[in-house]
Amino acid sequence: MCGISGELRFDKRPADLAAVERITHHLSPRGPDAWGVHARGPVALGHRRLKIMDLAEASGQPMIDSELGLDLVFNGALYNYPELRGELEGLGYRFFSDGDTEVLLKGYHAWGEALLPRLNGMFAFAIWERDRQRLFLARDRLGVKPLYLTRSRHRLRFASSLPALLAGGDIDAALDPVALNHYLNFHAVVPAPRTLLAEVEKLPPATWLRVDADGRREQCTWWQLNYGPRDDERGFELPEWREALLGSLRAAVEIRQRAAVDVGVLLSGGVDSSLLVGLLREAGVENLSTFSIGFQDAGGERGDEFQYSDLIAHHYATRHHQLRIDEREIIEQLPAAFRAMSEPMVSHDCIAFYLLSREVARHCKVVQSGQGADELFAGYHWYPPLAGASDPHAAYRAAFFDRTHDEYLATVQPKWRGEDHAGAFVREHFARPGAEDPVDKALRLDSTVMLVDDPVKRVDNMTMAWGLEARTPFLDYRLVELSARIPSRFKLPDGGKHVLKEAARQVIPAAVIDRPKGYFPVPGLKHLQGATLDWVRELLLDPSQDRGLFEPAAVDRLLSDPQGQLTPLRGSRLWQLAALNLWLSEQGL
């Protein structure tokens, strides 16, 4: 797990090594163990290293193979690299290191972009082909590892985070009005390739990009998620799906234990993280640490789920760490958490993951987390209304969107008013072939777009801020493809995730399954009051923070009734505005 960066010039000039070094050093929290840069004519590559898979210097990056004419920087982990290495050795390739990086480099030489479907893991990488003078970039299926790009007439730059790209300089800070529409409507999700900055984009998940030294681009989506059972699965009932799911989960958890000595689990006390603990114990992991976080109660809402996380920790005799955070520390740490964000995120649990990762990093380098289960197995409240819906788009929008379009127009100043871009995006996505059931349409959107640019990005940003590698078994592509084949009627009952809960009953205590659904709560940011509300008011009313984005009347309306201005997802509209201002400020924009 690392941070990568680079530049490719189109104007026959040498790459700007100083800019690449600035970008690379900004990524130091992602890779605190080592760093390196390499320049070759129009291209320069940078890398920050977190040593996990292979501790030897031979796996250092940028990795240069002069014999093959390839230079590589790679962020991520390939869990099936031993099997791929065996195939490559059978083809005559010789290896000088023992980790996954060289397997990726030689695999690309052997198979080109056809390597990508062979990979099981999380990755974003760049390979410079010396003889063909072209750069190849790629991102994993579910976008677990990020890759940001900025392009001008003269050059392309890339990095693992947007703030790192800013450190390289030469980027206009102008906002993208379409992205702003997404941010304020689609629960802060800005689908790739857009970001809030008009001059910065992100490579979409499951996509490769090839750019030559003249600036010509070729881009391809190399994987897609289709819904519906295979012919041999059409007769499956709940028992068959449950057993298939449990087998796939076991394989996903086990393969993610490769090269992980000190194992941790982010234990919320819900089904997903509790199931990971049970499966790790089942796989024979002995030195298992678990970590839970809690906050002060607010607005009549409990700030922790310790009763359930404690139950699992006791049941499996884990080395359990319980962290409780008060309101003062939330306010103190929010700026640092927002500095760590590549894009502004409004989910209250960002600060939870940031502070929890700080604690976990003191004990281990690798942690497993349960992200993805709700999006794959219909765990959220907006899925049941879509069952049989005659207008899936309208049903989804009513349950998920933070504002109507009219409310959006009343929130922003005239410069930012425009079409209903977020609504049009969802409508177009729902119309694509490959998902006919209305619930499947929503699951596909959430799994391939919302999940990538909310929960997955949140975990990557917050864990990597502390040099912590998070592995997400539910995002194993084989498990994701299996989940898409399971009909929604096996997911929706029992408050959602029915088939997953039935699989979990084979592993963990029923007490954490038959419980009300919980979230990773930070009530103080949801029910803005007291010192937190004062802090938000000061942030929004400070003249030096006024960027001409929001209508003053809309801000006044929100401040006059902060408790009554919640979105359909029970989030704070007021917090959305404050979060955007805070992120822009912390990035120096």
Q: To which H or E segment does residue 314 belong?
A: helix 306-315
Angle at the Cα of 459 (from 502 to 202), degrees rounded to 5?
115
Considering the domain architecture, whether residues 58 and 146 belong to the same structural domain is answered as yes
| Alpha carbons 13 and 291: distance in angstroms, whole number | 50
Name the nearest CA neighbour of 344 among 560, 121, 75, 547: 547
Q: Which pLDDT value is given to residue 259? A: 65
Rounded to the nearest 10 degrees, the angle between the axes of helix 552-560 and helix 573-586 is 120
Is 402 within the bounds of a domain? no
Residue 391 in any domain: the answer is no
Find the mean pLDDT for residues 472-499.
97
Q: Please report which residue ranges of 153-237 form alpha helices under DSSP H.
A: 162-167, 177-185
Q: What is the pLDDT of residue 295?
A: 77
Q: Is 372 annotated as a binding residue?
A: no
User: Angle at CA 122, nearest 5°, toward 83 and 56?
Assistant: 65
Question: Residue 186 maps to which CATH number?
Answer: 3.60.20.10
Asked if residues 176 and 198 have their Cβ atoms less than 8 Å apart, the reply is: yes
In a domain, 155, yes or no: yes
Say if residue 475's pLDDT is above 60: yes
User: According to the annotation, is 270 in a ligand binding site?
Assistant: no
Domain shared by 94 and 158, yes or no: yes
User: Do 159 and 268 lie in a common domain?
Assistant: no
Pair (80, 196) in one structural domain = yes
Q: Does 75 score more than 80 pLDDT?
A: yes
Mean pLDDT (whole number) for 279-297: 87
Same domain, 74 and 202: yes
In a shared domain, residues 9 and 43:
yes
CB 97 within 8 A of CB 51: no
Average pLDDT over the chain, rounded to whole?
92
Name the β-bridge partners of 78: 121
pLDDT value at 275 more than 70: yes
293 annotated among ligand-binding-site residues: yes
Torsion sign, CA atoms 363, 161, 371, 462: positive
Mean local confidence (pLDDT), 311-326: 92
Residue partners of 414: CB distance under 8 A and separation at least 6:
none
Amino acid of residue 306:
F
The pLDDT value recorded for residue 523 is: 58
Is residue 280 situated within a structural domain? yes
Is the per-residue pLDDT at 18 higher than 60? Answer: yes
- The token duo for 496 is 């959602």
pLDDT in tens, 331-343: 889 999 999 999 9
Domain boundary among 496, 521, 546: 521
Residue 547, Cβ density class (10 Å: 0-12 exposed, 13-18 middle, ≥19 buried): middle
User: Range of 104's domain?
Assistant: 3-221
**Domain end call among 187, 221, 255:** 221
Mean pLDDT of 87-110: 96
**Same structural domain, 176 and 112:** yes
CATH number at residue 267: 3.40.50.620
User: Within this chain, do residues 164 and 265 fall inside the same structural domain, yes or no?
Assistant: no
Pairing type for strands 63-65 and 43-49 reads unpaired
Say if residue 369 carries a ligand binding annotation: yes
Q: How many domains does the chain have?
A: 2
By DSSP bridging, strand 34-40 and strand 43-49 are antiparallel
Indicate whether 144 and 194 sit together in one domain: yes
Spatial contact of 61 and 37, defined as CB atoms under 8 Å apart: no
Residue 411 lies in a domain: no
Query: Is residue 192 located within the same domain as residue 261?
Result: no
How far apart are the C-alpha atoms of 555 and 573, rounded to whole Å? 10
Q: Which residues are catalytic?
A: 2
Is 100 a known ligand-binding residue?
Answer: yes
- Tell how strand 70-78 and strand 121-129 pair up: antiparallel
- Per-residue b or e along 424-462, where b marks 16 or more CB atoms closer than 10 Å to that residue's CB: ebbeebbeeeebebbbbbbbbbbbbbbbbbbbbbbbbbb
According to DSSP, residue 203 is labeled P
Q: Label residue 520 by pLDDT band (50, 70, 90).
A: low
- The confidence score (pLDDT) of residue 470 equals 93
**What's the confidence (pLDDT) of residue 310?**
93
